[in-house]
């Protein structure tokens, strides 16, 4: 049985939600303007990390009597609370949760961070010392870091939930899983990929049994981001900038994996063990030669975009779960995996896409020597661009085998051996109007432009 994301009901026809966006933007701007601590943080986010406060906000707490409640409901927010809490959510877009509290309560903005303790140490605040003690790196928590006159600021450290067990036992399970993930097999050779998938999936099943899907997923993707950034200079520089404000990768939007055809169903299997469910699928047409499955794990707050070479006659089937026959002719995705290994194994993610102020992030990274490619999406509600590809060396044995199989020419192999081949990127994204979808035409363009056989970059 294939698990589908709840939004399958609208066929994932995501549309901009300008009314809801204006409501949320007005609330965030008003609350930030009323509180110097929050306003200063917003200024530093933009000037020092190229990000916007609104993209970090995970939850807004408002008193029941706020006039904004009616505005939110009119703009598409719906009641998703229970007996303990009254929550408003917008199922048609990417928006913070609105938590309604007693009329005497003070408003609060709660932002996403990797580690609560890191944020408290970097930014202080009237309540930072008490808040710092609440985070331990593997239990979800939210704490008020600064109590303002008109609005509080809280930080959210989300790890999903874990099964009931003693604190020492949970800590031991977490430590063991972190060690196992860091040391898992990541072979480049295709012949070894099957065994590596088997071992990793077994590791994930064991982790889910001990930690639950939410915590296991969170810990796994923290490790995946670390592995990816070790191989990408733009990622390391941007992470340093965000760490200076104690934010970490809390602004991640989605994680992109490239897969061989033979390994694609194994990638999906591994993700579903971690609690991912299938969202929309992409197929760009016969000329593009690729397809993708989007998956989401809502408890851990992780989205995956999984790319694979695909033929026209395969899109009608369940290409995410049915094994795809290997083939000698490689498209952009297949060639990347042939040169570098599966993204889930040796290569690491093709890119991490994070939410930024598009122009500010590109300009600031340019000052650090990081070029960006031409934008492949430039709509009012969605803007996207890759940093220039990190060039990776390619194993000569891999190149010899690829030539022997007819996957690349001898001339291409010689060039890859001398110059390397395009590897990973950081993707700069700006979402407006709560738009949750992707630009299929733009993705087709950038996939073609990142083909190692004819990739090119341009600075901005």
pLDDT above 60: residue 18: yes
Query: In whole angstroms, what is the distance from residue 279 CA to residue 284 CA?
Result: 16
- Tokens representing 284 are 């760009």
> Half-sphere exposure of 244 toward its Cβ, with a 13 Å CA cutoff?
12
For 176-449, CATH number?
3.10.180.10
* pLDDT tens-digit readout, 343-387: 999 999 999 999 999 999 999 999 999 999 999 999 999 999 999
Phi, psi of 301 (to 5 degrees): 70, 40
Angle at CA of residue 149, ends 51 and 44, nearest 5°: 20
* pLDDT score, position 118: 97
pTM of this prediction? 0.93
* pLDDT score, position 137: 86
Query: In whole angstroms, what is the distance from residue 440 CA to residue 378 CA?
Result: 13
Query: In whole angstroms, what is the distance from residue 158 CA to residue 214 CA?
Result: 9
* pLDDT tens-digit readout, 378-403: 999 999 999 999 999 999 999 999 99
For the residues of 373-426, what is the DSSP string, one character each?
PPPSEEETTEEEEEBPPPEE---HHHHHHHHHTTSS-HHHHHHHHHH-EE--EE
Residue 9: how many other CB atoms lie within 10 Å: 9
* pLDDT tens-digit readout, 22-60: 999 999 999 999 999 999 999 999 999 999 999 999 999
Query: Quick one: DSSP state of residue 47?
Result: I
Query: In whole angstroms, what is the distance from residue 325 CA to residue 368 CA?
Result: 44
- CATH number for 6-157 (one of 3.10.180, 3.60.21, 2.50.20, 2.60.40): it is 3.10.180
Average pLDDT rounded to a whole number, residues 160-165 = 92
* pLDDT score, position 287: 63
Average pLDDT rounded to a whole number, residues 126-155 = 93
The percent of residues above 90 in pLDDT, for the chain, comes to: 82
Nearest partner of 114 among 234, 229, 218, 6, judged by Cα: 218
pLDDT above 50: residue 1: no
Give 313's pLDDT tier (boundaries 50, 70, 90). confident
* pLDDT score, position 192: 94
Query: In whole angstroms, what is the distance from residue 123 CA to residue 118 CA?
Result: 9
Q: What Å distances lie between residue 169 and 165, 179, 210, CA to CA?
A: 7, 16, 10
Q: Sketch the domain layout of the chain as residue ranges.
A: 6-157, 176-449
- Tokens representing 236 are 């390391």
pLDDT above 70: residue 288: no
Cite the DSSP H helix spans in 274-380: 332-340, 358-367
Query: Quick one: DSSP state of residue 331?
Result: -
CA-derived radius of gyration, the chain? 22
Angle at CA of residue 318, ends 312 and 324, nearest 5°: 65
pLDDT above 50: residue 104: yes
Give 445's pLDDT tier (boundaries 50, 70, 90). low
Cite the DSSP H helix spans in 96-192: 116-123, 128-132, 167-182
For the residues of 143-162, what is the DSSP string, one character each?
EEEE--SS-EEEEEE-----
- Tokens representing 332 are 């952009």
Cite the DSSP H helix spans in 34-127: 36-44, 53-56, 68-74, 116-123
- Tokens representing 373 are 């490619």
Angle at CA of residue 114, ends 361 and 59, nearest 5°: 85
* pLDDT score, position 82: 78
Nearest partner of 52 among 358, 366, 352, judged by Cα: 358
Give 175's pLDDT tier (boundaries 50, 70, 90). very high
Helix and strand numbers (H, E) in the chain are: 15, 17
pLDDT above 60: residue 219: yes
Give 4's pLDDT tier (boundaries 50, 70, 90). very low
Least confident of 266-275, 297-306, 309-318: 309-318
The percent of residues above 70 in pLDDT, for the chain, comes to: 92
Average pLDDT rounded to a whole number, residues 243-261 = 98
Fold match flag (6-157 vs 176-449): yes
Query: In whole angstroms, what is the distance from residue 267 CA to residue 364 CA?
Result: 35
Nearest partner of 383 among 337, 435, 320, 419, judged by Cα: 435
Phi, psi of 183 (to 5 degrees): -105, 10
Element (H, E) at 112: strand 108-112
Q: What Å distances lie between residue 89 and 92, 160, 364, CA to CA?
A: 9, 18, 34
Give 458's pLDDT tier (boundaries 50, 70, 90). very low
Close Cβ partners of 269 (under 8 Å, ≥ 6 residues apart): 197, 201
* pLDDT score, position 420: 98
> Residues 389, 459: contact at Cβ < 8 Å?
no
């Amino acid at each position: 049985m294939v698990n589908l994301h709840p939004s399958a009901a609208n066929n994932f026809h995501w549309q901009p939600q300008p009314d809801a966006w204006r409501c949320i933007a007005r609330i965030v701007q008003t609350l930030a303007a009323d509180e110097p601590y929050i306003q200063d943080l917003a200024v530093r986010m933009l000037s020092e990390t190229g990000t916007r406060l609104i993209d970090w906000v995970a939850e807004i707490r408002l008193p029941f009597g706020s006039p904004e409640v009616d505005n939110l409901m009119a703009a598409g927010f719906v009641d998703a609370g229970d007996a303990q809490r009254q929550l408003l959510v917008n199922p048609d877009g990417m928006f913070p949760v609105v938590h309604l509290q007693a009329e005497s309560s003070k408003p609060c903005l709660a932002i996403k961070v990797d580690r609560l303790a890191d944020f408290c140490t970097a930014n202080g605040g009237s309540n930072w010392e008490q808040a710092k003690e609440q985070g331990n790196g593997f239990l979800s928590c939210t704490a008020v870091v600064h109590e303002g006159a008109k609005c509080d600021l809280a930080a959210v450290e989300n790890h999903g939930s874990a099964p009931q067990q003693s604190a020492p036992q949970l800590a031991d399970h977490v430590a063991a899983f972190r060690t196992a993930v860091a040391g898992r097999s990541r072979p480049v050779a295709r012949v070894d990929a099957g065994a590596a998938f088997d071992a990793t999936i077994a590791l994930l099943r064991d982790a889910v049994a001990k930690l639950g899907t939410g915590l296991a997923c969170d810990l796994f993707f923290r490790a995946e981001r670390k592995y990816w950034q070790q191989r990408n200079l733009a990622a390391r520089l941007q992470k340093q900038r965000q760490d200076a404000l104690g934010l970490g990768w809390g602004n991640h939007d989605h994680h992109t994996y490239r897969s061989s055809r033979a390994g694609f169903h194994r990638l999906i299997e591994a993700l579903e063990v971690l609690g991912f469910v299938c969202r929309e699928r992409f197929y760009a047409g016969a000329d593009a030669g690729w397809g993708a499955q989007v998956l989401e794990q809502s408890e851990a707050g992780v989205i995956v975009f999984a790319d694979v070479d695909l033929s026209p006659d395969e899109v009608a089937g369940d290409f995410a779960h049915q094994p795809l026959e290997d083939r000698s002719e490689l498209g952009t995705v297949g060639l990347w995996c042939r040169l570098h290994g599966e993204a889930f194994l040796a290569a690491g993610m093709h890119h991490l896409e994070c939410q930024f102020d598009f122009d500010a992030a590109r300009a600031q990274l340019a000052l650090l020597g990081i070029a960006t490619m031409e934008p492949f999406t430039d709509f009012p509600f969605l803007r996207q661009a890759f940093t220039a590809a990190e060039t990776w060396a390619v194993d000569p044995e891999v190149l010899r085998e690829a030539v022997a199989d007819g996957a690349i020419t001898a001339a291409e192999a010689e060039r890859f051996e001398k110059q390397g081949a395009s590897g990973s990127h950081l993707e700069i994204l700006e979402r407006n109007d709560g738009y949750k979808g992707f630009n299929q035409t733009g993705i087709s363009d950038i996939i073609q432009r990142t083909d190692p056989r004819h990739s090119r970059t341009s600075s901005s």
